[in-house]
Amino acid sequence: MEIKKNDTFTVQIEDMNEDGAGIGKLDGFIWFIKDAVCGDRVEAKAIKLKKTYGYARLMRILVPSENRVKPACPAARQCGGCQLQAMRYEAQLAFKERKVQNSLVRIGGLDGGVLPFELIIGMENPWRYRNKAQFPFGQGKDGGIIAGFYAGRTHTIIEQEDCLLGVEENQTILTLIREHMKKTGIRPYDEETHQGLIRHVLIRKGFRTGELMVCLVINGRSIPGAGELVDALRKLEGMTSISLNVNREKTNVIMGRELVNLWGPGCISDYIGRIRYRISPLSFYQVNPVQTEKLYALALEYAGLTGKETVWDLYCGIGTISLFLAERARFVYGVEIVPEAVKDARENARLNGIKNVEFFEGKAEEILPAQYEKNQIRADVIVVDPPRKGCDVACLDTILKMSPQRVVYVSCDPATLARDLRVLCDGGYEVKRVRCVDMFAWSVHVETIVLLSKGEVDSKKIRVEFSLEDMDMSEFQDGATYPQIKEYVLEHTGLKVSNLYISQIKRKCGIEVGKNYNLPKAEDSRQPQCPPEKEKAIREAFKYFGMI
């Protein structure tokens, strides 16, 4: 039947897209349904139609997926922060692995059959993990002052002062600020009229130190009764820094460039591992310190330092990774475009007594070529942790010219990661290790770390292996991903198994596998058969993951 706008229909959710929306198909037409989970059977209402696909609103869950859970936060559907709160945490991890794998294969053109994926590192406790929160202030329908988060793809504020991902102190701080605003007649900022004073409140906490920072983003240069507000906030245990951030622009950018310190040193400190970091309101600092320590330990492991290497850390921020690397490297050079971050990085090196580092202020794509070509500063290892847009072309070109033995790429965006890996691989590098780290539980975002090393690529070997591998990415249909099965087999038996062998045993067990579009065209081509000991190990993995 033909479905029109505002029609309701029933559909089975077969997959999920990169934004966490459920995907269903009816008569070849694809529907994207927010808040639906793979495996759900739902009733949905058509809200927007294109030629071959459309968007629908979830109306009812008719048959819930085995991976569906009740969201812990009452504002989960309205708030734009958590896209996956209705999904079991273990299923989220599988979803994120698949998301990265798909990007590397489809965008990066890498061979999914031989990608050296390692099991994703999840969280032991995926709640209260964020050390930073930015709350917009606004006016509610009743005229009262509200704080919370923006609804997805809008600037409508959903009132929520106790986000379960943030620290418990957030709610107390917001209450004190709102009470002060009522007492002094301060109005929240209105984006449409550009009137009102309080735009956002930035709150940060050092998880190891317990230090708290409050920074009010204002449409002005001061606030009425600032002394009284400071006195109230200072009474909170751990309060260390209170400041104002001036942002008088008609913009969606949260933070302005000017800071006005009201009380305290203007910063807080925290530790990752043994390294102490100075964090100012404008500093970039990973929001999940527990998982960050695991991520940086991986970066150090991938770098393979012996104490003799010269290392470049590009997009270094306040020197978080740089200082980790400096403990094992001969010398580390960091590059960062944000002046305040560079200042913090230098101070962090001083605080920790680390002298074998130097930080440059500027664009990585400009600093790196200049230092390489003019000063002949070489690199044994280059670490990159770029923003979501990935590395600049000039930066990638210089990496290829400098030709370090190893490149460690840390990414928060699978698509730009895949694009940049393609450039580096075309330039003579091989992907040696890939691992995801879940830094953002209940959201669709994930960090990925990749090790690339120099070496001649046996293109003939890769081409033959690629023609034999089944590109089966059906995470949720088969109970476990190929990398998870490989990891289990290796850990429990010490055997390495290929996607081809897993696919063969899947077929023997009657488990559906994806269609192989890359089979050899020659009729007499032969595929190697899975040895008995590996078949036994794979079957044990299937049993462990509940597949047979």
Active centre residues (catalytic): 412
Residue identified by tokens 């023609």 is 467
Q: How many whole angstroms separate alpha carbon 506 and alpha carbon 542? A: 9
> Are the C-beta atoms of 216 and 174 separated by less than 8 Å?
no
Phi then psi for 509, rounded to 5 degrees? Answer: -90, 0
- Can you tell me whether residue 31 is helix, strand or coil? strand
E strands of 235-330, at which residues? 239-246, 258-263, 268-272, 275-279, 310-314
CA 349 remoteness from chain centre: 26
CB atoms within 10 A of CB 507: 12
Beta bridge partners, 150, equal 157
**Residue ranges in 332-392 assigned as alpha helix (H):** 339-351, 364-375
Beta bridge partners, 133, equal 203
Kindly give the interhelix angle for 482-493 and 532-544, rounded to the nearest 10 degrees: 110
E strands of 362-428, at which residues? 381-384, 406-411
Phi then psi for 539, rounded to 5 degrees? Answer: -65, -35
Q: How many whole angstroms separate alpha carbon 255 and alpha carbon 113? A: 44
Angle, vertex CA 530, rays to CA 525 and CA 535, nearest 5: 155
> Are the C-beta atoms of 382 and 311 separated by less than 8 Å?
yes
Q: How many whole angstroms separate alpha carbon 472 and alpha carbon 113? A: 9
Q: How many whole angstroms separate alpha carbon 236 and alpha carbon 238? A: 6
447-454: strand order across its sheet: 117-121, 429-437, 447-454, 406-411, 381-384, 310-314, 331-336, 357-361
Q: How many whole angstroms separate alpha carbon 399 and alpha carbon 505? A: 42
- CB burial readout 188-210, b (16+ within 10 A) else e: bbeeeeeebbbbbbbbbbbbeee
Q: How many whole angstroms separate alpha carbon 79 and alpha carbon 200? A: 17
State the DSSP H helix or E strand holding residue 402, giving kind and residue range, or none if neither: helix 393-402
Tokens for 529, please give them. 């058969």
Residue identified by tokens 């830094």 is 439
